[in-house]
Amino acid sequence: MSADPFHLNRPVHLARRDVFFQKAVVSIKTLSAHKQPAEQCKTAEQALYLLREARHHAEAANLSEKTSTQSRQFLDFMDTVVDNTLSITRMLRHQITAEATDNPFDGFIGTTGTGIKISGNYRRCAVLILKGLLPVLQQAEKPFQALRQTSLAKMSVVDKARYEKAYEHFEEQADDETQKATELPV
Task: Evaluate whether residue 169 is within a structural domain.
Answer: yes
Task: Evaluate whether residue 5 is within a structural domain.
Answer: no
Residue 36's pLDDT band (cuts 50, 70, 90) = very high
Q: What is the pLDDT of residue 6?
A: 64
Q: How far apart, in whole angstroms, are the C-alpha atoms of residue 102 and residue 144?
A: 44
Task: Evaluate whether residue 126 is within a structural domain.
Answer: yes
Per-residue pLDDT of 66-123, as tens digits, reads 788 999 999 999 999 999 999 999 999 999 999 998 888 888 888 888 888 899 999 9
Distance linking the first and last C-alpha atoms of the chain: 42
Identify the residue with better confidence: 3 or 67: 67
Per-residue pLDDT of 132-174, as tens digits, reads 999 999 999 999 999 999 999 989 999 999 999 999 999 988 8
Task: Evaluate whether residue 51 is within a structural domain.
Answer: yes
Task: Evaluate whether residue 4 is within a structural domain.
Answer: no
Q: How many domains does the chain have?
A: 1
Residue span of the structural domain in which 134 resides: 10-179
Note the pTM of the prediction, 2 decimals: 0.90
Q: How far apart, in whole angstroms, are the C-alpha atoms of residue 14 and residue 161?
A: 12
Task: Evaluate whether residue 144 is within a structural domain.
Answer: yes
Q: How far apart, in whole angstroms, are the C-alpha atoms of residue 76 and residue 126?
A: 22
Cβ atoms of residues 89 and 44 within 8 Å: yes
Task: Evaluate whether residue 139 is within a structural domain.
Answer: yes
Task: Evaluate whether residue 118 is within a structural domain.
Answer: yes
